[in-house]
Chain A
Amino acid sequence: MPQSDQTSLWHTLVSAGNLQDRFVSGASATVRLGELLEGTSLRECAGELCGRSVIIAPADQLTAALTLVELDGVARRLILCPPDLPAEHFSFVIETVPADAIVSDHPITGNYPSVGPRVICSPQIAAAVPDRRLRFQTEWILLTSGTTGAPKMVSHTLASLTGAIGYSGAAQNPLVWSTFYDIRRYGGLQIFLRAMLTGASLVVSNAAEPAADFLRRAGRHGVTHISGTPSHWRRALLTPAARSLDPQYVRLSGEIVDQSILDGLHAYYPNAKVAHAFASTEAGVAFDVRDGLAGFPASLIEHGSGDVEMKVEDGSLRIRSTRTASRYLGPAAAALAGADGFIDTGDMVELRGDRYYFVGRRDGVINVGGLKVHPEEVEAVINRHADVRMCLVRARRNPVLGAVVVAEVVPSEARSAAKAWKAELEAEIRSLCLETLPRHKVPASIRFVAALDVAPTGKIRRQP
């Protein structure tokens, strides 16, 4: 439902109804949304935050979720701070926005001259008569995961964040959403807002909680809808705890979704609809694809999707819609969109038949003797092998061609228990690549590893 400017998260959440049955579950506690009718997670300090520019910095996601519900429409600005933000970036963000209040579940002691109130929040709801009258159209500031250096700060409103969330009326059996993402990042925030605005409950993860425990907790709470990146899912399916879930709907986003992960999830959860979505912090949610196939229909470019217009220029996908962020913050902030209002996603696409396929990031291209290779297109081929769980393709410096393509592969447990498996599997992967890819894209070296590093964003870590 596109939010009018005249509402807040709290008011929409209340009007979605059924507060006594709905909950947010975290690793340490579960809070019924009804508790917030006569209570607060902010120890009666919410009043001090009215009209302020508040940095939301709890370690725990559940607590962060509660403060967002309480402060949208009350604070002038909410800055969503991911839990793994380094200390020097934390001060940078406070100074740049600037923030004049901090909310956290632990004392934050740094010297921040612009900051007034420092409020402690907690999942233990204290009795209170909260005043959540709508005073502001709160600006939401999200931080994007820059690969190096300071994070970029991106400005949204509740309306731009929720433009993709359709409301289909109260469901007969209430939905329970969950996500592997942190809700302070765009992908997770979408799921949090979706759950809050559409009358659902939510199970959030916790960075300190082992993945298997999270999956079992999600199973106990009867999660019906769950989202994550392909890397999140590839790792989840390695643990037997993934069997504790029986979802109706599985959503993928954040990384290129290839056919092997779609098929793998479909086989693992035969009762679930498996969909994938394209979104970015800057460009917002562009579309989702529900036909079970990788890529997206070329007709989307021609006709758009709802109020989203798309085009392909210089090989990359460009998006214009009401769901895009309005600006970057900061002294040397670049323009977010081009003169025509389209945002360049930097995601390169290729037309094959009547579908577009994502092939990789513009800035991730490997140059093999003057020929371009997107690591992701090679990964998609390797992932087709039934005995490959995950893989990572990257460049290795080479004295002959400048760089070559090399691959690290996580094999299936069954295969790696077999005798003399390495040479055989390596040869099979190589032939698969040689059959489908030009020679320069075939990995010069294939190494087997026990695991691959996944960043807190849920994306595979590409920097060594």
Chain B
Amino acid sequence: MSIRSEVIAQFQKVAKEQDKCLAPLTDDLSFLDSGLDSLCFAIIVTRLEDSLGLDPFTSAEDNGFPVTLGEFIKFYENAAK
């Protein structure tokens, strides 16, 4: 499974579990408009660490938290390189 599809799958899964209405997942979707709250993002990051074995937030230099879905996916893809 590609990183992109795994990230998107987790967004959908967590939104469903947490009973949130998820906006259409496009690369330029801003997290503020996604319908998810910070707890949802915390859960997504935890699940991706489990499934991809990646934790880009500790390995990356201080680049700040990505703000769109496209940046987020890129963030994980870069960490996998």
A interface residues, Cβ below 8 angstroms from B: 368-369, 396-401, 404, 406, 430, 434, 439-440, 444-445, 447
The answer, among A400, A439, A447, for a CB contact under 8 Å with B45, is A400
Nearest to A434 among chain B residues (CB) is: B17
Please provide the chain B residues from 46 to 77 with a CB less than 8 Å away from any CB of chain A in the complex.
46-47, 49-50, 57-58, 65
Residues in chain B near residue A406, CB distance under 8 A: 46
Chain B positions within 8 Å of A400 at CB level: 38, 41-42, 45, 65
Q: Number of B interface residues at 8 Å Cβ cutoff, please give it.
A: 15
A404 touches B43 (CB 8 A): yes
Which residues of chain B are near A398, meaning CB under 8 Å? 42, 45-46
Cβ contact within 8 Å between A439 and B42 = no
Question: Bound complex: CA of A386 vs CA of B65, how far in Å?
Answer: 40
A434 contacts across to B, CB distance below 8 A: 17
With a cutoff of 8 Å between Cβ atoms, the chain A residues found around residue B39 in the complex are: 368-369, 401, 439-440
Q: Is A430's CB under 8 angstroms from B42's CB?
A: no
Q: Does B18 belong to the interface (CB within 8 Å)?
A: yes
Q: Are B50 and A369 in contact (CB under 8 A)?
A: no
Q: How far is the CB of A359 from chain B (nearest CB, A)?
A: 21
Q: Do B46 and A439 touch across chains, with their CB atoms under 8 A apart? A: no
Given contacts A397-B58, A401-B39, A439-B39, 11 further A-B contacts (CB under 8 A): A399-B45, A400-B38, A400-B45, A404-B42, A404-B46, A406-B46, A430-B17, A444-B42, A444-B43, A445-B46, A445-B47
> Which residues from chain A contact B38 at a C-beta distance below 8 Å?
369, 400-401
Chain A residues with CB under 8 A of B58:
397, 399
Chain A CB within 10 Å, residue with most, of B41, B45, B47, B65: B45
> Which of B17, B41, B50, B65 contacts A445, CB < 8 Å?
B50
Residues of chain A contacted by B49 (CB below 8 angstroms): 445
Task: Determine if A444 and B46 form an interchain contact, defined as CB atoms under 8 angstroms apart.
Answer: yes
Does B65 contact A447, Cβ atoms closer than 8 Å? no
Which A residue's beta carbon lies closest to that of B65? A399
Residues of B within 8 A of A445 (CB): 46-47, 49-50
- Distance A354 CA – B39 CA, assembled complex (angstroms): 33
Q: Is the CB of B17 within 8 A of A401?
A: no
CB closest chain-A residue, reference B46: A444
In the complex, what residue of chain A is closest to B19 when comparing beta carbons? A434
Smallest CB gap from A371: residue in B: B39
Contacts of B50 in A (CB 8 A): 445, 447
Chain B residues with CB under 8 A of A369: 38-39, 42
Task: Give A431's nearest chain B residue, CB to CB.
Answer: B17
- Determine the distance from Cα of A404 to Cα of B42 in the docked complex, in whole angstroms: 7
Give the total number of A-B pairs whose CB atoms are below 8 A apart: 40
* CB nearest to B57 among chain A residues: A399
- The CA-CA distance from A408 to B47 in the complex, in Å, is 14
A400 vs B31: C-alpha distance when bound (angstroms):
13
Chain A, residue nearest B56 (CB): A399
26 contacts between A and B (CB under 8 A): A368-B42, A369-B42, A397-B58, A398-B45, A398-B46, A399-B45, A399-B57, A399-B58, A400-B38, A400-B41, A400-B45, A400-B65, A401-B38, A401-B39, A430-B17, A434-B17, A439-B18, A439-B39, A440-B39, A444-B42, A444-B43, A444-B46, A445-B46, A445-B47, A445-B50, A447-B50
Chain B residue with the shortest CB-CB distance to A396: B46
Minimum CB–CB distance from A309 to chain B (whole Å) comes to 42
Residue of A with least CB distance to B17? A430
* Interfacial chain A residues near B17, Cβ < 8 Å: 430, 434
CB proximity of B68 to chain A, nearest CB, Å: 16
Interface pairs A-B: 9 shortest CB-CB = A399-B57, A400-B42, A444-B46, A444-B43, A401-B42, A400-B41, A445-B46, A398-B42, A404-B42
- Expressed in whole angstroms, the minimum distance between the Cβ of B35 and any Cβ of chain A is 15
**Which residues of chain B from 21 to 49 have a CB within 8 Å of any chain A CB?**
38-39, 41-43, 45-47, 49
Task: Provide the residues of chain A in CB contact with B65, threshold 8 Å.
Answer: 399-400
- Measured CB to CB, the closest approach of chain A to B1, in angstroms, equals 15
Shortest C-beta distance, B59 to chain A (Å), equals 11
Q: Report how far A398 CA is from B17 CA in the complex, Å.
A: 19
A430 to chain B: which residues have CB within 8 Å? Answer: 17
* Complex-state Cα separation, A369 to B42, whole angstroms: 10
Q: How far is the CA of A399 from the CA of B47 in the complex (A)?
A: 13
Residue of B46, B49, B58 ringed by the most chain A CB atoms within 10 A? B46
Bound CA span A60–B49, Å: 45
Q: Which residues of B lie under 8 Å from residue A404 when comparing CB positions?
A: 42-43, 46
Complex Cα–Cα for A401 and B58 (A): 14
- Cα distance, A396 to B42, chains bound together (Å): 10
Q: Which residues of B contact A397 (CB under 8 A)?
A: 58
Chain B min CB distance to A358 (Å): 26
B41, closest chain A residue (CB): A400
Q: Which residues of chain B come closer than 8 Å to A396, judged between CB atoms?
A: 46
